[in-house]
A and B are shown apart, each in its own frame.
Chain A
Amino acid sequence: MMPDLGKYALEVNSSYVLSLLALAVIIGLYAKRSRAVKRDLAAMEAVHDA
C-alpha cells in the first residue's frame, strides 16, 4: 500500500506531516474560538432576553 518513496522518503513525509499539522492547528484554533464565542454570546443573549 505505501508507495516507495526511494531516498527522498524523509523529505516527502516530513512535508506532508508538517503541512497537515499546520492545517490541523489552524482549523483547531478557529473551531475552538468559534465555539467559545458562540457559547459566550448565547449566554449573554439568554440573560438579556430574560
Chain B
Amino acid sequence: MIHLFLRDVGLSVRSGGGFGLALIFFLIVVTLIPFALGPDQSALAVVAPGVLWLGALLACLLSLDRIFGLDFEDGTLDLLATSPLPQEAVYIAKAAAHWLTTGLPLALAAPVLGVLLNLDFEIGKILGLSLLLGTPALSLIGAFGASLTLGVKRGGLLLSLLVLPLYVPSLIFGAQAVRLAGQGLAYDGALVLLSAISLGAAAILPFASGAALRINLR
C-alpha cells in the first residue's frame, strides 16, 4: 500500500501530470478574477475567500480522472485486484497520493495567491489552514467519483457532475471559515465542521469506493 502510494506520488511528480498542472490552473483562475470583476481592491477582498476556495476546488476537479484512469487502461488495476491488497486500501493510497500532489500544494500556495486578491496575509493563513483541512475531503470524494466512472469512456464531464454536488458542504464550510475570519468573528466552528467532513469521508468512502472498484473490475 505504501509502495503504491509512493509510486503514484512519484509518477505524478515526474511525468508533470497532475502535480504542476493543478497549481498552474489555480494561478490562472486567480489571475483571471480581477479581469472579470474589475481591479477594485475592496471588492476583491470581499470575494477573495470564495474565489480562492472555488479555484482550489476546480483545480482539484481537473486532475480527478487521472487518479485511476491510466492504471485502469494499462491493466495495473486488474493486477492490483489479484494481489492480497484490498480495494479499499488501493483507494486510500490513490486518494492520499492525489491529495499530496494537489490538495497540499494548493493549500500552501493559497495564502500567497490571496495577497494578489488583496486578502490580508493573516487571513490568508487561515485560508491555507481551511484548505489543508478541507482538501482531503475533496480528494476522497473525487477518488470515489473516479472509481464510479472508471468504465465510462470520456467520463470527465460525468465525473464533474457526480462530484460537484458532493463538494457543496466542504465548499460552504471552508469559504465560510475564511469569511468569518475576515469579519473578525470566531471561525473555529466552521473549521471543526470542515475537518469533520474530511474525517467522515475518510471513514465511509473507502468502503463505497472499494465496492465500486470491485464492481468495475468484475
Do the two chains touch directly in the complex (Cβ atoms below 8 Å apart)? no
Residues of chain A whose beta carbon lies under 8 Å from any beta carbon of chain B? none
